[in-house]
Amino acid sequence: MFAVNCGGLPISTVVSEDFYYSDVKDVEIDLDKGDTLFLTTDGLLEERVTDEMYGEDRLQELLLNNYNYPVDLITKRVKNDFSEFSGSVRGQDDITFLCLQRDLDVIDKFKETINSTIEAMYEVKEKLLEFVAPYYKPPSIICIGFQEILTNAIEHGNQRKADKKVEIEVEVTTKYIKIVITDEGSGFDWQQVVNQEFDLERDLCNGECRGRGIKITNKAYDEIWYNEQGNQACLYKLLNG
């Protein structure tokens, strides 16, 4: 990781054009496949709570731990971290940031649309097992989480209405396997379930079955997140080695 200091260039329509071009130096950055570029104004870095500033070090540590994830997840984590620090999604100053990423080559793809039946779920699970076998060992790990989320999509998303569809898309790159499962339901509050700690024995004793499939998947995969509506799940598994 390296940082490029742009000198706090003001963003304003009242600043003359001559000022912008008086002392501006072009910087070229070559991005390899999978590289991520994160740009931000100083409103993010200079946010203060009492005597503590959010700061560049905190942002760099966050990006170091997340740069290899997709852009939508990186931006979500930056927003969540800022909110955790400041206590609000809004800053004291204007905040603008941009996250760009050069796509990795897709080695292989798998796509299928199924009816909302358990039989169809088991059929596509076997196809996925065969598909991922050359790329991840043991492939059963991939299929455990996949089955849990697909079952949720059929039972809770589409309410087991056989005429409703579930779409499955799988991409294999040099770094990860990504699975996207989309149902035709109205969605749910997934963040509360995903962030709960998974304890199988405790949940069974307390009769807490709802959401356990998502917790299992959260353990099997490196990342799991949903779209804002809650009817599309994205499962993300780093490749071995």
Is this prediction's pTM over 0.85? no
Q: Determine, yes or no, domain membership for 11.
A: no
Residues 93 and 52 in one domain: yes
| pLDDT for 11 | 58
Nearest Cα residue to 82 out of 71, 73, 95: 95
What six digits make up the tokens of 49?
Answer: 């709570």
Residue-number span of the structural domain to which 173 is assigned: 106-238
| pLDDT for 19 | 66
Q: Is a pLDDT exceeding 80 seen at residue 138?
A: yes
Q: Is a pLDDT exceeding 90 seen at residue 94?
A: no
For residues 150 and 200, the answer to whether their CB atoms sit within 8 Å is: no
Mean pLDDT lowest among 26-30, 175-179, 182-186? 26-30
Q: Determine, yes or no, domain membership for 2.
A: no
For residues 174 and 122, the answer to whether their CB atoms sit within 8 Å is: no
Q: Is residue 71 within a helix (H) or strand (E), and if so which, with residue range?
A: helix 71-86
Residues 226 and 115 in one domain: yes
Sign of CA dihedral 138, 168, 189, 87: positive
Share of the chain above pLDDT 90, in %: 51
The residues, any chain, with a CB within 8 Å of residue 103's CB and separated by 6 or more, are 33, 34
Q: Determine, yes or no, domain membership for 49.
A: yes
Residues 114 and 203 in one domain: yes
In CATH, what number is assigned to the domain containing residue 149? Answer: 3.30.565.10
110-123 average pLDDT score: 96
Residues 88 and 156 in one domain: no
| pLDDT for 214 | 67
Domain termination site, one of 58, 84, 101:
101
Q: Determine, yes or no, domain membership for 9.
A: no
Residues 46 and 118 in one domain: no
The structure tokens 């706090």 sit at 8
Domain termination site, one of 86, 101, 116:
101
For residues 158 and 231, the answer to whether their CB atoms sit within 8 Å is: no
Residues 203 and 123 in one domain: yes
| pLDDT for 207 | 42
Q: Is a pLDDT exceeding 70 seen at residue 165?
A: yes
Q: Is a pLDDT exceeding 90 seen at residue 122?
A: yes
> Per-residue confidence at 40, pLDDT binned at 50, 70, 90?
very high
Q: Domain count of the chain?
A: 2
> Per-residue confidence at 110, pLDDT binned at 50, 70, 90?
very high
Please state the φ and ψ torsions of residue 226, each to the nearest 5 degrees. Answer: -115, 160
For residues 75 and 141, the answer to whether their CB atoms sit within 8 Å is: no
The residues, any chain, with a CB within 8 Å of residue 228's CB and separated by 6 or more, are none
Q: Rounded distance, CA 64 to CA 78, Å?
A: 12
Q: What share of the chain is helix, strand, coil (3-state, %, to 5)?
A: 40, 20, 40
Domain termination site, one of 70, 101, 132:
101
